[in-house]
Amino acid sequence: MRAGPLMKSLGFSSEVSVESVAAFFPLPFSTKIVREGLAELVVPETGETQATTRLPAFYNPLSKPSRDLAVIVTGAYFSGRGCKLAAEPLAGTGARIIRLLLETGVVSEGVAGDISKWAVRMAEINAERNGLSGRLRVEHMDANLLLSKLAVTGRAEYVDIDPFGSPVRFLENGFRATERRGLIGISATDLAALSGSSRRTALWKYGLTLFKTNFFKETAIRALAGVAVSTASRLSLGAEPVLALAYRHFIRIFLKVDRGKSRAYQKRTQVRYLKHCKECLNTSVLNDLTEWEERCSVCASPNALLGPLWTGRLADEGLIEKILSSGFSSDPTYSEVLRVVGRLAEEIEDVPWSFQLSEVSRRAKTSPPKTRHVIERLKEAGYRASITHFDATSIKTDAPADVLTKIVGELAQKG
C-alpha cells in the first residue's frame, strides 16, 4: 500500500499495511462492510439515517446506479484500447474508483483523492481490502490541486468528477487533467439550479438564464452539458457528450475530450439559446440572438429565453450499442441502469426539448392520453416521436407544439 500524505505525516512509510494502521489508530466512528458490484467496502455506519454530508467519510448506497453507469460506460468506451489511468478527485470511501479497477476490465491504474482525512483513510483501507494496493494511489488533497497536478505530471484517460451538489468549480481542472481522446464523467445533484427552479443560483453559479419548463429535467442535462462544453472550448478542447442522463437524484454526463481549435469551435456552436412560449409550449433553437422575437409566432404571447444549453445529441449510438451488447448487459448488477440506457437509445436525438403530456392535455382541455398512443399518432402524421428516458409521461417530437396539442385533443375525443 502506498502511503498518502496523512499516513506520511503520521510517520508511516509506504510499506506499512493500512490494516495494521487502522488497528493502531482505530477509526473514531463505527463502520460496517457492504458489497457493491465486485467490491467489498468498509463504510461509515449510518444507522437509520441515509448518508449525509456530515458523515466523516461519504458513502451513499443510493448512488450505486451512478457508479454502475461509470463502470459500464468506461468499460465500453475504452474496450479494445484500455485506460491506463483513471482519476477520481472526490472519491469519498473509494467505492467508484475501486469498482472501475475491479469491474471494467480496461482500467489499469487509479488515483483517488479527497479533502476529508477520514475518507482518504477509508479509501486506503478499501484499496487494500480489494487487493488493489499496487494499482490505486490515494491522495489527501483538494480536488482542484490533484487535477492540476495530473494536468502537469501526466493526464488520466478517464476523470470522474462526483461532488456534493455542483461540479462547476472542478470542471476546468477536470478537462485539463483529461488525456486527449479521453473521457470525463461529471455528476450534479443541484437540480434546482440546473432545472430552472432556482433562477438566481442558475445565474450566479452557472451564468445561465433558466426558468422552470415542462421539460425541466432535459433542461438540467443540457444546461450542465452546455457549461461543460463551453469550459472545454476555452481550453481549446472539443468536448461532446457521449452519454448523458437524468436519473433519480442525479445527472450524469460523460464527454469525450479532444484537442483542437476547430473541434472546440464546432462543439461550442452547438451551445445555444432556446426561445420558449410558456403559454402554448412553442419552442425553437436560436442559431444566434438576432433570431430572437418578443412574441410567439403561434399565439402572440411573450417568448422567454432559455440557456445557453447544449443542443446537440446526448448519446453516441455506437457507444450505446457497445454497452448493450457487452458482457455487462447480462449481469444483474447493472440491470437498473441498463434499462435507462435502453430507453435513452430510443430517444430521437435532434430535438433539444420534450413535452410533458399532462401540460399538453391541460392546454387541449382534456385528460392525458397514453404516451404510446400519442407517439403512434404523431408518426402516422409524418413526424418523428419517441419516449424520453427521464419521464414516462413525456415525449420528444419534431412536431410543433400546436400540432401536438391538436393530436392530444383528437385522441381524447376518440376515447
Binding site for Zn ion (CB under 5 A): 277, 279-280, 282, 296, 298-299, 301
In whole angstroms, what separates CA 122 from the centre of its chain? 25
Nearer to Zn ion, 282 or 405 (CB): 282
Tell me 394's DSSP state.
E
Q: Does 162 bind ligand SAM (CB under 6 A)?
A: yes
Residues 91, 156, 225, 314: which binds ligand SAM (CB under 6 A)?
Answer: 91
Please count the residues of this chain forming the interface with ligand SAM, following the rule CB under 6 A: 20
Contacts of 321 (CB under 8 A, 6+ apart): none
DSSP class per residue in 250-282: EEEEEEEEEE-HHHHHHHHTTEEEEEEETTT--
Q: Helix axis angle, 64-77 relative to 335-346, nearest 10°? A: 60
- Candidates 3-11, 157-165, 264-272, 354-362: pick the segment binding ligand SAM (CB under 6 A): 157-165
CB of 72 to ligand SAM, least distance (A): 15
104-130 in b/e burial notation, b at 16+ Cβ within 10 A? Answer: bebbebbbbbbebbbbbbbbbbbbbbb
CB of 352 to Zn ion, least distance (A): 18
Minimal distance, residue 218 CB to ligand SAM, in Å: 23
Output the smallest distance, CB 187 to Zn ion, in A. 35
Beta partners for 4? none
| Cβ 63 to ligand SAM shortest distance, Å | 5
* Interface with ligand SAM (CB under 6 A), residue from 12, 69, 96, 104: 96
- Which residues, at least 6 apart from 44, have a Cβ–Cβ distance to it below 8 Å? 29, 30, 31, 32, 51, 55, 56, 57, 59, 93, 122
Pick between residue 115 and residue 345 the one whose CB is nearest to ligand SAM: 115
Q: Please, what is the minimum distance in Å from the beta carbon of residue 408 to ligand SAM?
A: 40
Interacting residues of 224 by C-beta distance below 8 A, sequence separation 6+:
167, 186, 188, 194, 251, 253
Beta bridge partners of 393: none
Which string of x and - marks every residue 34-73 that binds ligand SAM (by CB under 6 A)?
A: ------------------------xx---x---x------
When asked if residue 90 is in the footprint of ligand SAM (CB under 6 A), the reply is yes
Identify what 280 binds: Zn ion, ligand SAM, none; CB under 5 to 8 Å per kind: Zn ion
Side-chain-facing half-sphere of 369: CA atoms under 13 Å: 27
Residue 282 binding partner per list Zn ion, ligand SAM, none, with a CB distance cut-off of 5 to 8 Å that depends on partner kind: Zn ion
Which helix (DSSP H) or strand (DSSP E) does residue 212 occupy? none
Binding site for ligand SAM (CB under 6 A): 58-59, 63, 67, 89-92, 95-96, 113-116, 119, 142-143, 162-164
